[in-house]
């Protein structure tokens, strides 16, 4: 099952938000806001039909608007009612995770009209269907027509602003880094600068290398093949005789310690800053560093102990 | 180490410098992308094609936007106030204790593969952060703007820690399969179970460290 129907649904929503931004001239930078969501809409609605280079030019335009054109910070819409709502309001909120889980687990086993879902597609369709059903529930509970909810969602999205795009831009940057050989260069630099034939040096280089490269690329999955291929296999496994299973698991989790400390992992560390209306852009990272550093140290010790039993 | 290898590190330097100098993230990404295209020798068209196809393949990251109308609608009808009132009725509720319970729930469910049982847009903004804030309001010195910000950030951090150090214990998780494939290519056969089991010591350590920080926060606050 392709993801195109989901992208069309989301692209339609972006088009709606773009149209709203263009017609609502009360707020600043209407043209830029409208253009931003219009380009997003094009990339989601017909992105697959465009030549890759054209899509790339649109992505560049998005990044330029995000970097220079959009307001730095838009106040999040007021949370409205100050009197506590009805307890039934919890229903739509809890329906999102509950339905997502049910559909994620069941879709791969169903075959409706010979349509097969991969695990990833099932999770994404699960999320999308859950959100649509939850919206219907929310409208039933609050007794409103859909237009208002969509408009409110648009306001919330605009308050997140350019941060909404960052996870995507950074994923693209990761691909570019891989093409430019950035990871291999970093692994080589570590290998040249450190005497990896000493066991504890190799352990340090592997664990810290995972964390550092993850911080640079924003993603432990991208860092793993580079560091495990450049330091883990040739030195720790072949020279020092490390057990590969704990080496792999704890190495990846050392990378996750890096994820906790980098703005490159935007969907985890920067999007919540916008969602929670925080003033300090690094507030979430700052809250995570005191967990990440001792945990990374613990991982280095675990690597030394568990790989060489 | 050839000059070309050092050359390839320039994009990383751009990222590190850009974020260190607190530049706008979109601008940092833009310049890092241009420099990576340059040192990678992709050419203008090659760079654009990589940007375009990379973006199109990563579009699924934005699907969470579909949850925003739901969250915005229930918030406009007082969901966050409701969450606060519920916690207000729990005497002895403290942000650290509450977030510790959330950490256990998040990490436990992620270890079972139920990673969608949380998230910043769906759970932290509408429920977890308001509940933690309400708990902080019950503390003796109340909740000033700085502490409100810290409690919210800690709520988001707790969601991340629980997710990261839970999901790796799940056998069918992408990272576990990635590691298995990596070693299989190099002639070492590992079972997913083996890899997932070796994640347990770090998972316990993560829970202990972050959990201790959460409880320590409550204690420090009550002593002030």
pLDDT for B107-157, tens place per residue?
999 988 888 788 898 899 999 999 999 999 888 887 889 999 999 999 999
Residue in the structure block whose two tokens are 């993801």: A3
pLDDT of residue A76: 57
Q: Do A302 and B60 touch (CB under 8 A)?
A: no
pLDDT of residue A209: 92
Q: How far is B73 from chain A (nearest CA, A)?
A: 5
pLDDT at B1 over 70: no
pLDDT in tens, A31-47: 888 999 999 999 999 99
Average pLDDT, chain A: 87
Chain A residues close to B116, C-beta within 8 Å: 96-97, 100-101, 104, 123, 126-127
Exposed e or buried b for every residue in A210-246, given b needs 16+ CB within 10 A? bbbbbbbbbbbebbbbbbbbbbbbebbbeebebbbbb
Provide the domain count of chain A: 1
Q: Within 13 A of A153's CA, how many CA atoms are on the CB side? A: 27
Residue A148 lies in a domain: no
pLDDT of residue A75: 57
pLDDT in tens, A86-97: 788 889 988 988
pLDDT at A77 over 70: no
Percent of all residues in chain A with a pLDDT value above 70, rounded to a whole number: 94
pLDDT in tens, B96-109: 999 999 999 999 99
Does residue B200 or residue A229 have the better pLDDT? Answer: B200
Residue A269 lies in a domain: yes
Task: Confirm or reject contact between B104 and chain A (CB < 8 A).
Answer: no
Chain A residues close to B32, C-beta within 8 Å: 173, 176
Residue A270 lies in a domain: yes
Contact B74, A144 (CB under 8 A): no
Cα dihedral sign, A40-B56-A271-A69:
negative
Task: Confirm or reject contact between B206 and chain A (CB < 8 A).
Answer: yes
Number of Cβ pairs < 8 A linking chain A and chain B: 424
Percent of all residues in chain B with a pLDDT value above 90, rounded to a whole number: 43
Domain that holds residue A294: 177-306
Chain B residues close to A250, C-beta within 8 Å: 198-199, 201-202
**Mean pLDDT for the stretch of residues A95-111:** 84
Distance, in Å, from the CA atom of A275 to the CA atom of B71, rounded to the nearest integer, reads 11
Q: Tally Cβ neighbours within 10 Å of residue B77.
A: 22
Distance, in Å, from the CA atom of B185 to the CA atom of A67, rounded to the nearest integer, reads 41
Distance, in Å, from the CA atom of B214 to the CA atom of A76, rounded to the nearest integer, reads 28
pLDDT in tens, A154-165: 888 888 877 788
Residue A249 lies in a domain: yes
pLDDT in tens, B152-205: 999 999 999 999 999 888 876 778 888 888 888 888 888 888 888 999 999 999
pLDDT in tens, A8-32: 999 999 999 999 988 877 777 888 8
pLDDT of residue A80: 55
């Amino acid at each position: 099952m392709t993801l195109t129907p989901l992208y069309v649904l989301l692209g339609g929503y972006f088009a709606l938000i773009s149209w709203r931004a263009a017609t609502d001239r009360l707020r600043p930078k209407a043209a830029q806001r409208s253009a931003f969501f219009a380009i997003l809409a094009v990339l989601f609605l017909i992105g697959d039909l465009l030549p890759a280079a054209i899509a790339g030019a649109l992505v560049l335009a998005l990044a330029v608007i995000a970097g220079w054109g959009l307001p730095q910070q838009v106040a999040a819409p007021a949370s409205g009612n100050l009197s506590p709502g009805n307890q039934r309001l919890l229903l739509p909120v809890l329906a999102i995770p509950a339905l997502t889980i049910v559909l994620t687990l069941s879709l791969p086993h169903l075959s409706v009209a010979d349509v097969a879902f991969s695990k990833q597609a099932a999770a994404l369709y699960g999320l999308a269907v859950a959100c649509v059903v939850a919206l219907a529930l929310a409208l039933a509970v609050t007794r409103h027509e859909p237009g208002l909810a969509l408009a409110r969602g648009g306001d919330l999205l605009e308050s997140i602003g350019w941060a909404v795009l960052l996870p995507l831009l950074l994923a693209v940057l990761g691909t570019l880094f891989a093409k430019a050989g950035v990871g291999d260069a970093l692994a080589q630099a570590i290998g040249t600068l450190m005497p990896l034939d000493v066991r504890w040096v190799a352990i340090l280089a592997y664990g810290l290398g995972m964390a550092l490269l993850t911080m640079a690329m924003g993603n432990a999955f991208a860092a793993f093949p580079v560091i495990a291929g450049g330091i883990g296999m040739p030195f720790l496994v072949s020279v020092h005789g490390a057990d590969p299973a704990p080496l792999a698991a704890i190495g990846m989790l050392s990378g996750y310690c890096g994820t906790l400390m980098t703005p490159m992992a935007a969907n985890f560390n920067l999007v919540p800053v916008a969602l929670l209306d925080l003033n300090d852009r690094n507030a979430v990272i700052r809250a995570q560093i005191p967990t990440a550093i001792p945990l990374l140290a613990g991982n280095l010790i675990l690597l030394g102990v568990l790989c060489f039993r | 180490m050839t000059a070309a290898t050092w050359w390839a590190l320039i994009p990383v330097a751009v990222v590190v410098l850009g974020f260190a100098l607190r530049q706008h993230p979109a601008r940092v990404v833009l310049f890092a992308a241009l420099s990576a295209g340059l040192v990678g020798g992709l050419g203008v068209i090659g760079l654009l094609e990589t940007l375009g196809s990379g973006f199109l393949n990563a579009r699924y990251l934005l699907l969470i936007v579909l949850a925003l109308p739901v969250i915005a609608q229930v918030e406009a009808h007082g969901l966050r106030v409701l969450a606060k009132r519920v916690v207000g009725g729990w005497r002895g509720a403290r942000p650290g204790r509450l977030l510790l319970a959330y950490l256990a729930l998040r990490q436990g469910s992620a270890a079972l593969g139920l990673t969608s049982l949380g998230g910043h847009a769906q759970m932290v903004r509408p429920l977890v952060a308001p509940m933690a804030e309400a708990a902080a309001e019950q503390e003796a010195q109340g909740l000033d703007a700085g502490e409100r910000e810290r409690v919210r950030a800690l709520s988001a951090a707790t969601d991340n820690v629980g997710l990261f150090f839970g999901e790796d214990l799940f056998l069918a998780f992408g990272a576990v399969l990635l590691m298995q494939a990596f070693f299989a290519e190099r002639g070492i056969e590992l079972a997913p179970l083996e890899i997932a089991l070796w994640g347990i010591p770090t998972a316990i350590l993560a829970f202990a460290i972050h959990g201790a920080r959460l409880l320590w926060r409550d204690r420090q606050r009550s002593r002030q």
